[in-house]
Structure 1
């Protein structure tokens, strides 16, 4: 099993604000004690391509979540057991495989582009091609989609922010024993 790669703002020229490292997420709870960002090596290679693609548009990526320990997946499911938006931990999440990330775009001033909904909005308005959004929001979503698809990721149709490697289920679920960043379940 390959070691996960630690993603930092310095090593990858991205912004990182892991939503589950604070109470400012749909659970209202801190899920990650430490805001550490990790990815599978194949996903990290695609991330580097996406960083270059965003830069070509005068934008940067902001990572909101990446590898998610099993205990964290269980904590999310406990609050919102909705398989349309949260992977059942009994089946496994592609985040727990280290091959998925939640991401958005920021402009040259570091301002997040308007994507129409906050991350983890479990509603039709968060679907990639929700046509009730104004053209500016749809354009921003298309920019993100283009950057990520060209880098080798695929999108989740219900979540404008979620991208993963193709055929993500072929990657094994990664154990969370000893993962120091998770406090779920305390």
Structure 2
């Protein structure tokens, strides 16, 4: 697949905030993974993202994106750091991210301009980050439910272990993408 088949997501074109964690050291590895901060999705996922942006805006929120398309080489780096299939898909299987059909995100409250508290940070690999974790204050559960509602309504599906991760249904029907759009350290 060449880079023109992925849709580039920018703050200006999509009305989102980008905070691509793997283009910084502020992620669960503590290391830079991406040399360049580019956000991209498969066209099918981009269409759902557009719907999610509109749903979020009507509810008073902006989506903040932490990760989207992820090269296979980056998936390998994450697996080397945390070889736990509950949180990182084995590189040989490929993740929904390496197929361009997954997105990691949260919410910004448009009234305050602040990132909405979800109880844990992005990339918190613990039971507190599970979507159905009941051991959280009611306001955190509500915040996660708002994000869940926005994303499900837009056509995404959630996964059990990460409140921030959404992907297209049947994500693994899509092929893994061999793409050099994002340069990996």
Q: 2:132 aligns with which of 97, 115, 129?
A: 129
State the distance in 2 between where 1:93 and 1:110 align. 32
State the distance in 2 between where 1:9 and 1:93 align. 25
Report the secondary structure of 2:178's partner residue.
Answer: coil
Report the secondary structure of 1:61's partner residue.
Answer: strand
**Count of residue pairs brought into register by the alignment:** 182
CA RMSD of aligned residues (A): 1.0
CA contact (8 A) 1:71 1:182 kept: no
* Offset at residue 180 of structure 1 (A): 4.2
Q: 1:143 aligns with which of 134, 137, 146?
A: 146
Q: 2:55 aligns with which of 50, 53, 56?
A: 53
Match of 1:91 in 2: 93
After superposition, give the CA deviation of every residue in 1:125-165 in whole Å (9 maximum; x if it has no partner): 00012111101000000000000000000001110000000
Match of 2:103 in 1: 101
State the distance in 1 between where 2:37 and 2:114 align. 20
Q: 1:21 aligns with which of 20, 23, 36?
A: 23
Structure 1 unaligned spans of 5+: none
Q: 1:168 aligns with which of 162, 166, 171?
A: 171
State the distance in 1 between where 2:66 and 2:57 align. 18
Return the TM-score normalized by structure 1. 0.95
CA contact (8 A) 1:8 1:37 kept: yes
- Does 2:182 match 1:181? yes
State the distance in 2 between where 1:66 and 1:110 align. 22
Moved more, 106-115 or 137-146: 106-115
CA contact (8 A) 1:72 1:182 kept: no
CA contact (8 A) 1:85 1:122 kept: yes
Structure 2 unaligned spans of 5+: none
State the distance in 2 between where 1:167 and 1:105 align. 25
